[in-house]
């Protein structure tokens, strides 16, 4: 059995009070908090090992390079990539997706080709494909959602055709928490010769991800949602695809030979990592993976599902609250999105903050999904391994006060 209080003690930020109330941080889908082990890894690099990587022969450069590349190996192992060279460090999910769009997409999409996404997508996995389709004269298609906001294999099969060249889907919705059947949809994509990119920003921190078993061609995620610093993330890509792709940024680090009128690139993964990389962030991401691995990702997922079930159960008792997405916790990851009839989500979040409860309110960078839900915005409570049922109780009490405040 996991000791949640022991885990919470690793997160200095959780010990504070907000408005003289204990902080209940329930905004983990936006960004996670950082344990002291990750903070120490970052400060240790800057205090003892700060140097540029790969080219230097002095001791600090060697230590920095070893730590940086060790972090890459940890990422590869964590998502079960076949080899370390298939892991490219990026600024996060958004930059990883844009890399694929600008390299693979520009080279392989032509007029009339189809790009398939869904209404669930975060803007970072929608706008880049939207712009590519406009540039190339391609067709952007959306998989219809089921009534509970899930993606079914049947709807995916209807949407993916012989003209489909790229399928790009969120593994877990940042609004509904719904889990997409990526493995089955990847098989549909490959059957027609298409590739699949997966936005794993909300999946990798919360559940077991095996990119080989999923047969994902590309898989993108961010460090800051999995206890690492902001500004670091990763792109996984199958070697046979990455080898054929051209870099999208050029400069130092990524070159092999430079002549006056032509240049050649380094091998994978460095040909996609122009300039000085985010060294400290990558090292801290490695420390975050160590931390998550020690707890166990399956343990984290199971505990979060307990929290989600409890939150849905408690919210369902309150009148005037609409919960979006499936009520079956097994169909979603650790978040609950909702609205109170007669109260704007921003007002709900503001009143909750007065009681020390931090949630997110707005369109969550998913405006097409808001339109599908027939709302302009929602409130969202999202959980991680350091959250407790007592914090959900504080959320529920805050919702009751909100209803009283507005006379609902």
Q: For residue 91, how far is the Cα from the chain centroid?
A: 12
- Give the pair of three-digit tokens for residue 328: 């079956």
Q: For residue 158, how far is the Cα from the chain centroid?
A: 27
Q: Which entry of 4, 84, 365, 401 is annotated as an active-site residue?
A: 365
> Is the separation of the CB atoms in 379 and 321 below 8 Å?
no
Dist. CA 218–CA 241, nearest whole Å = 9
Beta carbons within 10 angstroms of residue 295's beta carbon: 13
Q: In what order do the strands lie in the sheet with 321-324?
A: 321-324, 335-340, 378-382, 360-362
- What residues have CB less than 8 Å from 51, skipping those under 6 apart? 58, 60, 61, 63, 64
> Is the separation of the CB atoms in 32 and 224 below 8 Å?
yes
Dist. CA 325–CA 173, nearest whole Å = 10
3-class DSSP assignment, residue 21: strand
Using the CB atoms, write b or e for 10-37: b if 16+ within 10 Å.
bbeebeeeeeeeebbbbbbbbbbbbbee
Report residue 364: phi and psi, to 5°: 60, 35
Tell me whether residue 365 is one of the annotated catalytic residues.
yes
DSSP string, 50-100: ---SSS--SHHHHHHHHHHHHHHHHHHHHTT-S-GGGEEEESSHHHHHHHH
Dist. CA 140–CA 286, nearest whole Å = 36
- Give the pair of three-digit tokens for residue 181: 């059947």
Q: In what order do the strands lie in the sheet with 87-90?
A: 87-90, 233-237, 218-222, 195-199, 164-170, 114-118, 139-143
Q: How many residues does the chain have?
A: 408
> Is the separation of the CB atoms in 176 and 120 below 8 Å?
yes
Dist. CA 160–CA 187, nearest whole Å = 11
Instruction: List the catalytic residues.
Output: 365
């Amino acid at each position: 059995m996991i000791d949640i209080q022991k885990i919470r003690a690793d997160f200095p930020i959780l010990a504070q009070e907000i408005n003289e109330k204990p902080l209940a941080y329930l905004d983990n889908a936006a960004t996670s908090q950082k344990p002291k082990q990750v903070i120490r890894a970052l400060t240790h690099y800057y205090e003892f090992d700060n140097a540029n990587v790969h080219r230097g022969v002095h001791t600090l450069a060697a230590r920095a390079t070893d730590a940086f590349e060790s972090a890459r190996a940890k990422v590869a192992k964590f998502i079960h990539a076949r080899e370390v060279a298939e892991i490219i460090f990026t600024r996060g999910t958004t930059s990883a997706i844009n890399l694929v769009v600008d390299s693979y997409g520009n080279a392989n999409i032509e007029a009339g080709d189809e790009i398939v996404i869904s209404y669930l997508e975060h803007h970072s996995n929608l706008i880049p494909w939207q712009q590519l389709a406009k540039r190339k004269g391609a067709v952007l298609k959306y998989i219809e959602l089921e009534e509970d906001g899930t993606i079914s294999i049947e709807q995916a099969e209807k949407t993916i055709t012989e003209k489909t060249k790229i399928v790009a889907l969120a593994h877990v919705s940042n609004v509904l928490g719904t889990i997409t059947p990526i493995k089955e949809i990847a098989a549909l994509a490959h059957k027609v010769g298409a590739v699949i990119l997966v936005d794993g920003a909300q999946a990798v921190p919360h559940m077991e991800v095996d990119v080989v078993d999923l047969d994902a061609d590309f898989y993108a995620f961010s460090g800051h949602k999995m206890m690492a610093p902001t500004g670091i993330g990763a792109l996984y890509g199958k070697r046979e695809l990455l080898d054929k792709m051209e870099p999208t940024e050029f400069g130092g680090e990524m070159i092999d030979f430079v002549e006056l009128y032509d240049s050649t690139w380094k091998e994978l993964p460095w040909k996609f990592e122009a300039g000085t990389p985010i060294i400290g962030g990558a090292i801290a991401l490695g420390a975050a993976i160590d931390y998550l691995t020690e707890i166990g990702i399956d343990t984290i997922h199971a505990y979060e599902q307990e929290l989600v079930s409890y939150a849905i159960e408690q919210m369902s008792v309150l009148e005037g609250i609409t919960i979006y997405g499936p009520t079956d916790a097994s169909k979603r990851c650790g978040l609950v999105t909702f609205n109170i009839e007669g109260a704007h989500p921003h007002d709900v979040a503001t009143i909750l903050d007065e009681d020390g409860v931090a949630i997110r309110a707005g369109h969550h960078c998913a405006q097409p999904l808001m339109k599908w839900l027939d709302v302009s915005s929602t409130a969202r409570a999202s959980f991680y391994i350091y959250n407790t049922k007592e914090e959900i109780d504080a959320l529920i009490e805050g919702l009751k006060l909100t209803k009283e405040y507005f006379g609902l």
